[in-house]
Structure formats: C-alpha cells, structure tokens
Amino acid sequence: MKYFSAILIFFLISFNLFSQVKTDEILKDIDDQTTFYGNIAKTIWNYAEMGFQEEKSSALLQETLKDEGFTITSGVAGIPTAFIAEYGSGTPIIGILGEYDALPGLSQQAIPEKKSAGSEAGHACGHHLFGTASAAAAISVKNWLKENKVEGTIRFYGCPAEEGGSGKVYMTRAGLFNNVDVVLNWHPSNANNANPSIALAVKSAKFRFYGVSAHASAAPQKGRSALDAVESMNFMVNMMREHIPHNARIHYVITDGGKAPNVVPDFAEVYYYARHPQRDEVIDIFDRIVKAAEGAALGTETSMDYEIIGGTHELLPNLTLQKLMYDNLVKVGGFKYSPEEKLFAEKISKSLNDTHLDVSYSEGIMPYTTELDSNGRGSTDVGDVSFAVPTVGMRAATWVPGTPAHSWQAVAAGGTSIGTKGMMVAAKTMAATAIELFYDTTIIDKAKVEFLESRGKDFKYIPLLGNRAPALDYRN
C-alpha cells in the first residue's frame, strides 16, 4: 500500500511539474508572437465588416491558420464567411470559437475622443480581438500537439454575424459541433474574469407593413399609412411591457418609416428584439409581439408580414470547465499599463464620467465565484453551442475599466495596445486550458457528466430561428 501511495505521489508531482513547464512554454510561445497577432487584429479592426459581410476578415484568419498547417473548410452551414480550421486526428476534439463581425454606426478612431474613422461600422464589441486571440490559441495548441506527438484534434470555428445574425445557431443546427468534446471561447471586456455567467435567450424579427400611398394633404382619405401601423404596433408593445416578467427585455428600431412627410408611406418596417433568461419565455413574449403587429395591421387597414432574423438559446454554464479556465487565467495573470496607455485610459474614463481609474482587474483577476449573475443582460449565439457540447468562456480586459460594450470608447481602446495586451491574455488562457484538457481527459469526462445533468435528459434542440436559411442580408 505504501509502495502504491509513493508511486501515486510521484505521478502527481511529475504531472504538475510537466504541466507547469509546458504551460510556461506555451505562454512564452504566444508572447513572442504578440506583434504578429496584434497586426492581424488591427487589420480586422480597420476592415470593420458587419455580420455575414466579413469577407476580408474571414479570409485573413483562414490564411493565417492555413499557413500553420490547418485544413480549412470554408462556407460551412450555408454561410460564405463561416469556416472550420482543423489540425490533428482522433480524440479528444477541442473546439475554439472565433468571431470577427463589427457593429453598424460605431466607426471610431483609436483616440480617447469621439471621432469617426469615416467607415460605416466599428468593432465596438471587440470581435477583431476575439477571432485573432482564438486563432492564436489554436495555433499554439497545434504546435504543442505536433511537438509532443499527442493524439487529438484542435478545431477553430470561424463564426460570423454574432451581433444579431445568430451565425453559430446555423452552425449548431448543421451539426458542426456534434462530435466535439469541449468548446472554449472568450469575449473582450473591461476586466479579466472567468466566473460562470448567464446570457439571455433572444428572438428577433423585422415586421413589414404595406399600405396605400397618397398625397398626405390633397387626398389623405385615399391613403393607408404603413408608418401608422408601425407606430400602432410600437404603442401596443410598449403597453405590454407592464405585463411581462421583470427580467425580460424588448427593444426596437424603425428601419424604414417612409421617404417624405407629404406622401402617405405605403411601406414601413420595424426591427424587434425580445429577451429573457429562459427561451420558453422569449417564445411567449415574441408571440405576443406578433399579435400586436397583427392588431396594428387590422386597425390601420394595412397588411403585415415578418421575417425572423435571429434567435439564440440562453447560456448553459459548466462549472467543471469554468474552474479549470479560471485557474489558468490566474496562472497567466493580467497586464501592466504603460505610461502612455495610462494617459489614454484616464481620458477615456473622464469621457465616461469616471474620475477614478481603477486598473485592478486589468492588472489582476476578478475573484472566483460560482454564483451566477442573475442580472445578465446580454445575449450570444454561444448559447446554442453550449446546449450542444460542454462549453466554457472567459473575459479579458481589452477595454479601459468601466467601458461598456457597443460604445465608441470600446472601439477606441480595442484599436490600441490595450486591446492587444488583453487579447494575448485570452489567447494564453485558452491555449493552456485546451492543453490541460488534452493531457488530462478525465476533466472532459467530468464536464460531460455535468453537461448532461444540466441540460436535462429530455432536452431536444429546437432553434429559435426555425428552419430559415441564414439571413445573409440582415444588415442591408
């Protein structure tokens, strides 16, 4: 018995030493490529291509991975800018998600004052960093597999149109994650954090109303205003807000309200989102929104149709994987601000009405907790992936502390060395986490048990966007 115990202790010590040495090598390998990956991220930042339009961004990441020996399959799930890059063979299969779409109307220069870069869109959610860091991690893991002759497969998923286009939903629906053991991902943020979190399920649609045009002054009685229908719908939905769960969210924009005040609009369109922590509630709220649209059409003597644009599940956490990623994030640590970066950050903070810049969670890591933030307000198509395969994520401090996503301040910081430094924290953490999973597959086994228990034995995957083809023109 003593002999067995000694052998076990020796094995554990050897494993820990091996793991630490290999982790150190991984981190150094990625650090040495900071300038290379920083240039890729900045190039995609300059492209600032919106959902399903990321042709140059997708091509650059595909080329980068192909040059490193990955096999590329492009145009997956019926999406021209979606792709899979794969290296290795056999199991386990570890997937890493990468995004690269920008947001409309948020063009911004990499300076601490609001000033457009002159383009149509901007990377206000940092997806230029997201896709690049994930590619860096995948390449680092590939190098480790090759050098150590380890069996297994590393797979990078090029995921377009996260911002409202639900790109990963189509990829999930197409079965592209069915044989994957674990999926890793991350997201830009204003702090380093690997705590479990939730995301809201969401369903979105464009409601289109068709009326009769007429001269608004000379013959108004002959017109039937499609804009009146949109405004009637909006009024009814706004009244409905009093009678939905307190943690639900509904928002909309009028994308077309007519062209001239003296012409009764014969066409108008409004774009709606409905969100809630549970997808069943989202479906119910969305159905009530549809009834409001039908009532608006009836009351204004117009006709209506609608097109489902997107729909995602809530996020399914996996605490087994989450603690593993957190431990690796702690090993990696944060980053130090240079004097120039500190000055930039102070100016950004002032623009956010924050007079005290606290970089504690850029230079360090937020404490770990297993308590889910029930006040989560964002949505992500990673949610659908998380119901197909055990999935884990983290956030890295790519923005100035206090910066909200979808702001010009996020675009500005993401185009500087602050964004690059945070991006490399994410790349190193994901690479170290993936390699630990390859080296100790019992963690994968434990994560799968938790995954099946959390998902429920009767779960059946039904995409909230139904059977529609990818909405490739949703940004038009």
For the segment 163-179, what is each residue's pLDDT rounded down to a tens digit?
A: 999 999 999 999 999 99
Percent of all residues in the chain with a pLDDT value above 70, rounded to a whole number: 94
pLDDT-wise least confident of 25-34, 161-170, 263-272, 436-445 = 25-34
Number of domains in the chain: 2
Q: Which two tokens stand for residue 363?
A: 């230079």
**pLDDT exceeds cutoff 60 at 417:** yes
Q: Which pLDDT value is given to residue 26?
A: 73
**pLDDT exceeds cutoff 60 at 14:** no
Q: Which pLDDT value is given to residue 16?
A: 52
**pLDDT exceeds cutoff 70 at 23:** no
Q: Which pLDDT value is given to residue 128?
A: 98
Write the pLDDT tens digit of every residue in 320-362.
Answer: 999 999 999 999 999 999 999 999 999 999 999 987 899 999 9
| Residue 303: other Cβ atoms inside 10 A | 14
Has residue 472 been placed in a domain?
Answer: no
Residues 75 and 168 in one domain: yes
What's the number of CA atoms in the CB half-sphere (13 Å) around residue 247?
15
Let me know: does 308 contact 204? Beta carbons within 8 Å: yes
Q: Which of 238, 167, 221 is nearest to 470 (CA)?
A: 167
**What DSSP character marks residue 212?**
B
Domain residue limits at 366: 2-199+316-455
**pLDDT exceeds cutoff 60 at 1:** no
Residues 165 and 282 in one domain: no
**pLDDT exceeds cutoff 70 at 19:** no
Q: What residues does 392 pair with on adjacent strands?
A: 184
**pLDDT exceeds cutoff 80 at 8:** no
Residues 153 and 43 in one domain: yes
Write the pLDDT tens digit of every residue in 218-248.
Answer: 999 999 999 999 999 999 999 999 999 999 9
Domain-terminating residue out of 268, 288, 312: 312
Residues 290 and 373 in one domain: no
Residues 349 and 279 in one domain: no
Q: Which pLDDT value is given to residue 376?
A: 56
Give the separation between CA 476 and CA 450, rounded to whole angstroms.
41
**pLDDT exceeds cutoff 60 at 20:** no
**pLDDT exceeds cutoff 90 at 63:** yes
Q: Which pLDDT value is given to residue 2?
A: 52
Q: How confident is the model at residue 21 (pLDDT cuts 50, 70, 90)?
A: very low
The per-residue DSSP string of 9-29 comes to HHHHHHHHHHHHHHHHHHHHH
**pLDDT exceeds cutoff 90 at 28:** no
Residues 269 and 359 in one domain: no
Q: Which pLDDT value is given to residue 104?
A: 97
Residues 195 and 209 in one domain: no
Write the pLDDT tens digit of every residue in 73-109.
Answer: 999 999 999 999 999 999 999 999 999 999 999 999 9
Residues 148 and 57 in one domain: yes
Residues 276 and 169 in one domain: no
Q: Which pLDDT value is given to residue 18?
A: 47
Q: Which pLDDT value is given to residue 335?
A: 97
Give the separation between CA 386 and CA 402, rounded to whole angstroms.
28
CATH number for the domain harbouring residue 100: 3.40.630.10
